[in-house]
Structure 1
Amino acid sequence: MRGRGAAVDAVIIGAQKAGSTSLQAGLSAHPAIYAPGGEDPVFERQDLNEAQRQAHLERRFRGAHDRVRLLKRPNYLGLDGPASRLFSIAPDCRLLVMLREPRERAVSAYVHYQRFGFLPAEPVAEGLAKVFAGDYDAQYARAAEVREFGLYAAALTRWSDVFPREQLLVVTFESFKIEPRAVFDRACAFLGVQQGQYPSALFERANEGAYSPDSMAAYQTVNDVFFRYSEGRMTRRLRPSLSPAKLLKGVSALSLARSARQSKSAKPVLPNDLAARISDYYAHDLARLEKDWGISFGAPAMAPHEYPERQHG
């Protein structure tokens, strides 16, 4: 894939909490792939021009040489803008799209946003009911993402209107859990690198959800102490300075939050009426996803495309 001076060769996008961190960790261990850790929101940012994005990517991939250059940012899938910005810089970029059953994803995403202070800490069923009723939309700018980021068929249509469909490989979290080696080999073939190597990072669970009320309450304190939020809580920044008393309070809360996360609390079960309402919200999109992309969450699913062999390393 390398050799034409592309700023980036591949990006992992898709659903939140769908195994993208584990896949990224596995691919980053491949000798033919260069994958900086963490997520990169460069194609979300509207304050950058194309030259600034190019410069950012050159810094990120310094040392990549002729290896496949891989980024990760799941949120790109559900947002307007990243597809066209990415295409303008890297029209040959390959997209690894990871999806997860949307109702399961909504629960995990809701708790994830609570943890980072983008939504208020309250019982999951009560909060999700408000999210799907739109009650939080005016006050919390990211509430709609919990709902809308699960509309996969609509998102894939937006991306395939920009990138050729053969440049998208769609896999599911459910398949990845059951057959990590098969999914990893499929990803390697798609990226044109050698298959059959399975680093231990591929099998390690990352970013597991924390459903303990004690953990969520402690994280709320951490957020209040250490961060300042933009209007609507769309973004957050570290506070530049803290008093000794505030610092002690924040550190104590962080220790409690991490300790509480270690206790395995069961994922909340949604009341039948709420579960039905969320299922209805996604029903039409799921039908389109199966019809247009061959993806169903009832069985291990990967988009049934064949890709030319491109061995690299």
Structure 2
Amino acid sequence: MSGARLPNFVFLGPDKTGSTWLHAALSRHPLVYLAPGKDLHFFDRYFDRGVEWYAAQFRGAGPRHRIVGEIGTRYLYARRAAERIHRTVPDARLMVCVRDPVKRAFSSFLYLRRQGKNVGTFAEVLDTTPVILDRCRYATHLQQYLSRFGQDRIYLGVFDDLQKDPQRYLDGVTTWLSLDPIGLPPEILKPQLPASQARSRRLGRFVSRTARKARNRGLTLAVTRVKDSAVVQRTLYRPLAEDRPQLTAQDAERIRAELDPEIRRLEELFGVDLRQRWGWA
């Protein structure tokens, strides 16, 4: 692996917290090189491909790049990711972005519908798919990283801040990475695509299976480009109509009741006030 560069920055996730935006924004910094394909899944799915394969994903990094990184979405809660990351890049800096679990869980529900899955109501999904809430147990999942890397090597972003002021959010990340700030162009500041669903359930399932097979064959960059294409998105998906599912107060309260101890613990670990800003207190 002579001359190969491994990342010194890894975004751990979770999904539904602006990872695609972060990849696009950070990639514009002249001193940052990110693996072109988001979600390499090396530390959860493809670790058996070896470090040589992983290093090859960053072959475009040059001497001027002070930060070489990967944007992932599943490492936060993947079973062996923390141990593997620490073994492979023990000096890396890590980032996590947390989102109100109520909104994140509902966003995950809409994503399942987008894939064409007949999942029933949100309340039914909370019963049948416990992983949706398990992935919001931020403090529990972070503990495996805190014990290995220490708190000073982990940056905690909050999704609300990204939504409110993208430029300020990015400035916080670049400052933490010891980089000068950069201004964001209009195309990075534009609104995200509206919530959508597959034009048919069969199409949604086909797209999901095809993307998974492409990643298994090492075509991560191709998957990323297709997912980011507005033309492809308009072709495969349609905006949710007036009958879009609505989050009920009962479902929201159920999530808060279950995860309140988790969020309190996260507040203590990082000295932040999340319950107040999320309207939980």
Matches within 5 A, 1:53-132: 53-66=50-63, 67=65, 68-116=67-115, 120-123=117-120, 126=121, 128-132=122-126
Which residue of the partner structure matches residue 217 of structure 2? none
Alignment of 1:173-188 (within 5 A): 173-188=159-174
Instruction: Tell me the residue number matched to 2:223.
Output: none
The residue that corresponds to 1:162 in the other structure is: 148
Contiguous gaps of at least 5 residues in structure 2 = 215-232
Q: Which residue number in structure 2 is paired with residue 270 of structure 1? A: 247
Q: Alpha-carbon deviation of 1:108?
A: 0.4
Q: Does the C-alpha gap of structure 1 residues 226 and 99 become closer, same or farther in structure 2, counting only changes over 3 Å? A: closer
TM-score by length of 2: 0.79
Instruction: Map residues 185-264 of structure 1 onto 2, 5 A cutoff.
Output: 185-206=171-192, 208-210=194-196, 215-216=197-198, 218-225=199-206, 236-237=212-213, 257-258=236-237, 260-261=238-239
Which residue of structure 2 lines up, in the alignment, with residue 246 of structure 1? none
How far the C-alpha of 1:122 sits from its partner, in A, is 4.3
Alignment coverage as a number of residue pairs: 254
Question: In structure 2, what is the Cα distance between the partners aligned to 1:226 and 1:208?
Answer: 19
Mind listing any 5+ residue stretches in structure 1 that lack a counterpart? 137-142, 230-234, 239-253, 301-313
Cα separation, partners in 2 of 1:44 and 1:187, compared to 1, 3 Å: same
One-letter identity of the residue aligned with 2:89: A
Deviation, structure 1 residue 269: 2.7
Residue 230 of structure 2 corresponds to: none
Q: TM-score, normalised by structure 1?
A: 0.72
Q: Deviations over 1:18-48 (max 9, x none)?
A: 1121111110011111112322111102x63
Q: What is the Cα-based RMSD across aligned positions, in Å?
A: 2.8
Amino acid at match of 2:260: A
Aligned equivalents of 2:37, 2:190: Cα separation in 1 = 15
**Alignment partner of 2:134 out of 119, 141, 148:** 148
- Runs of 4+ residues over 6 Å off in structure 1: none
SS at match of 1:12: strand
Asked if structure 1 preserves the Cα contact closer than 8 Å seen for 2:264 and 2:275, the reply is no
Q: CA deviation at 1:106?
A: 0.1
- Residues 181, 48 of structure 1: CA spacing in aligned structure 2 closer, same or farther, 3 A cutoff? closer
Instruction: State percent identity of aligned pairs.
Output: 23
